[in-house]
Structure 1
């Protein structure tokens, strides 16, 4: 058995088709059908009766077939006709653009033609399909894709704005899924109030982060599912009292709540003049204020520091090492931390602050070593001096190194006294720089404002390295 229709017809199983019926079959098989004689003259044109956009095409009769197409399409068609009349029994379909022979108007849409040889003399049947429906479907798909991408971009923009608002808010904000009681999102102020690490509250049960009484009030409110007065609760880790104002809304097919509370409560209570003044100084002060843990990781940073370091918001500083924002990196942090830990406070430390864009600006840093219930750390005030200045040294004299100035008066000329005192101070500074940089001579030279070669000269002068050491 074969699926070849020509064999089926030759076997006589299909009766001969009447000419009118054959013309109707050909007309409806395509949108435009053209019969071309052996001399390439159009002998018949059949338009699909259900496709009324073509109108009457009778004026194509008698025209040379290549004359009803544009020059580019005519060249393609001539090549395919030659192939079909030659050794190739079948050729691929091709897309052609028509040019009307009467007024030479060019159709703006292509027709996809399949070519069929009718007899040995070379007569041809061209069956064409209008590609506009396909093009319109493709355009619809493109428009749908563009709309989907725009919607996704809008969603990303909304998420970005939400993150920016959460980061900029001075209130603590917690977004809670009522169905599970789990925290969906919390801003930095809320994480600080609950004593949680950055980003660690999401996915946790709010009930596990508060005291039993607050948990009971929360569960009663969730069961009621209505607006309520501020919910009293106490953060389990920090012991901080919180009065959260809930707002109900529905999103993603479930009820959610936005819990908002005053981020300045507790240690910054407004009824304490000292606390209120310190909080206002932190928020509105001209100098940058930064708090770090004992490893130099930023816990809090005020707006002045964000401006100094060219950062967009509190979350962009919190949790990052302070060394990222100092030109000498860990060498600066180590020097500040060791000085503040030893003396309790360090004043007038000169450094360069590096911004998020790589720029550097001169700064003067004062630091205090802080011990608290949440661990030790540093409190720093960073002042943008923005100009070269003389470093100020605040260090007690070392024992066993030279004699006091008063004791030297009268024993030697003033010139010799000054030279000896200068040498002692210079050697002390070099030794301190080497200690702070852990004997990194390149970093020590930079810290002292010396070239590497000058530092090596002074190291040899004071016998701190061998003569042959490089």
Structure 2
């Protein structure tokens, strides 16, 4: 049997309200009386002490979920929470958490106590505060005690943690972008650049230009020591080492001219980048004789002049195949008088199948970077037809990207025998000839057409590397018509497009 309920009061918690709330108060006694009053040792007194010791917000709730009494402290003391008395508990929380209130009351009614759940109160001031509630059933038909803890500090901490994580994520990607730009600038620099560990002069990084200066791939410079592993004589190494020590100690840099073993002179400039424990030396090497021909190219070679005089047609175009440079052999092939007449023109103007062949050529260049021995036909301005083979390469490491195209006229080439596929077609036609008199002429013609049609479809697919769209353009049929014929002849062709 439950002990008789005590009446307690929290200082300042009773306020005048509307008549409905007063009637509710007149029916129940004040449960949340400060401890230390009469009836010490009763269950109500124990619960009272628990509330005062642990709760930021506590509610006494009737069996049907109506708030009968409110205890508050801390951030809740300034709120007019007495207005909740007489209201259903579920109506004091935001709609998204009302279901949790019902679950708390149902669990407490079933097993005597409900585990903690978070609900979000909409306070009279308009603030929204998360509260973690545990609900205890006081006694049969005596309602419930909801003991709440303010979760706003935890919510603020979680929000700050999420914001910190997002800031770290943004900083990470910003650093990645900066690193990418640094790597691009570092490797594209025409000056040789070395990054050295300040204490040991060990090479941390080197760009491609530095690799050319030292005559080795740049990646092999990493881990070596400068100047000990450089192609310098002993005196030059001592001079460079003293210079680097001075830069490391004083932080100032002066230009030093050094001579490699091969006699080449380079201007060296170093600067110190300070870090927490140590530092990094940034070393620039620039050629004292900038007009000197690079060692990795033969002296005095004029590549463009050689291409202009080459017997095969050579064209440089932009990425859309508009002509930028053309040699004399190409002008002769297309029967044009001067290079100025064709600059800016599309190469597809002279191709036998302008839409199809050019599409196939550009698609394969974008996909593979190069095309070898691509067969097509060139029609000159005066309609002279020439069978040609095209080899091309796309260079994306320069601005703007360009396509270099070599065109070889094979019209007078002595053939090396019929292709295997052609022989197979002729053999099949010979076999059909033997059916004369056995089947009707109409059936013979239909079978022959089907055989030839299948042969040319397979040839078009091989030419376009399985690209059905380009194959349809080459054959002059719609894509849907080509799909129908592929199914009819059971031709298996992947479509990389």
Q: TM-score, length-normalised on structure 1?
A: 0.54
Question: Which residue of structure 2 lines up, in the alignment, with residue 363 of structure 1?
Answer: 405
- 1:204 matched to 2:224? The reply is yes
Question: Which residue of structure 2 lines up, in the alignment, with residue 221 of structure 1?
Answer: 243
Q: How many residue pairs were aligned?
A: 310
SS in 2 for 1:159: helix
Counterpart contact for 1:97–1:111, Cα < 8 Å: yes
Question: Which residue of structure 1 lines up, in the alignment, with residue 372 of structure 2?
Answer: 328
Task: Could you tell me which runs of 5 or more consecutive residues in structure 1 were left unpaired when the two chains were aligned.
Answer: 1-14, 289-303, 310-323, 332-347, 365-387, 393-421, 432-449, 459-470
Change in Cα spacing, 1:158 to 1:54, as seen in structure 2 (3 Å) is same
Deviation at 1:233, TM superposition (A): 3.3
SS in 2 for 1:62: coil
SS in 2 for 1:208: coil
Change in Cα spacing, 1:228 to 1:123, as seen in structure 2 (3 Å) is closer
Counterpart contact for 1:27–1:33, Cα < 8 Å: no
Question: Which residue of structure 1 lines up, in the alignment, with residue 133 of structure 2?
Answer: 113
Identify the match of residue 57 of structure 1 among 64, 67, 81: 81
Identify the match of residue 185 of structure 2 among 165, 173, 176: 165
Question: Which residue of structure 2 lines up, in the alignment, with residue 390 of structure 1?
Answer: 409
Identify the match of residue 148 of structure 1 among 168, 182, 189: 168
Q: Distance in 1 between matches of 2:276 and 2:51?
A: 55
SS in 2 for 1:46: strand
Question: Which residue of structure 1 lines up, in the alignment, with residue 118 of structure 2?
Answer: 95
Question: Which residue of structure 2 lines up, in the alignment, with residue 446 of structure 1?
Answer: none
Question: Which residue of structure 1 lines up, in the alignment, with residue 214 of structure 2?
Answer: 194
Counterpart contact for 2:65–2:105, Cα < 8 Å: no
Counterpart contact for 1:190–1:263, Cα < 8 Å: no
Question: Which residue of structure 1 lines up, in the alignment, with residue 107 of structure 2?
Answer: 83
Measured on the aligned residues, the alpha-carbon RMSD in Å equals 4.5
Counterpart contact for 2:268–2:284, Cα < 8 Å: yes
Deviation at 1:355, TM superposition (A): 5.5
Question: Which residue of structure 2 lines up, in the alignment, with residue 260 of structure 1?
Answer: 284
- 1:45 matched to 2:87? The reply is no
Q: Distance in 1 between matches of 2:177 and 2:306?
A: 33
Deviation at 1:222, TM superposition (A): 2.9
SS in 2 for 1:268: coil
The worse-fitting range, judged by mean Cα deviation, of 24-33 and 206-215 is: 24-33
Question: Which residue of structure 1 lines up, in the alignment, with residue 149 of structure 2?
Answer: 129
SS in 1 for 2:229: helix
Q: Distance in 2 between matches of 1:79 and 1:122?
A: 18
Per-residue displacement from partner, 1:68-93 (whole Å, max 9, x unpaired)? 3345544432343233223x133222
Identify the match of residue 267 of structure 2 among 243, 249, 252: 243
Deviation at 1:133, TM superposition (A): 1.3
Deviation at 1:162, TM superposition (A): 1.5
Q: Distance in 2 between matches of 1:306 and 1:235?
A: 41
Change in Cα spacing, 1:66 to 1:234, as seen in structure 2 (3 Å) is same
Counterpart contact for 2:65–2:88, Cα < 8 Å: yes
Question: Which residue of structure 1 lines up, in the alignment, with residue 446 of structure 2?
Answer: none
Counterpart contact for 1:98–1:106, Cα < 8 Å: no
Per-residue displacement from partner, 1:355-410 (whole Å, max 9, x unpaired)? 669x995613xxxxxxxxxxxxxxxxxxxxxxx66359xxxxxxxxxxxxxxxxxx
Q: Distance in 2 between matches of 1:350 and 1:82?
A: 81
Deviation at 1:107, TM superposition (A): 5.3
Change in Cα spacing, 1:148 to 1:79, as seen in structure 2 (3 Å) is closer
Change in Cα spacing, 1:74 to 1:179, as seen in structure 2 (3 Å) is closer
Deviation at 1:27, TM superposition (A): 3.9
Change in Cα spacing, 1:391 to 1:190, as seen in structure 2 (3 Å) is farther
Question: Which residue of structure 2 lines up, in the alignment, with residue 368 of structure 1?
Answer: none
Q: TM-score, length-normalised on structure 2?
A: 0.52
Identify the match of residue 426 of structure 1 among 411, 414, 424: 414
SS in 2 for 1:232: strand
Q: Distance in 2 between matches of 1:67 and 1:21?
A: 29
Counterpart contact for 2:319–2:402, Cα < 8 Å: no
Q: Distance in 2 between matches of 1:287 and 1:153?
A: 47
SS in 1 for 2:135: strand
Deviation at 1:137, TM superposition (A): 0.6
Change in Cα spacing, 1:251 to 1:208, as seen in structure 2 (3 Å) is same
Per-residue displacement from partner, 1:24-69 (whole Å, max 9, x unpaired)? 7514512210012345432220011x22475121122233334433
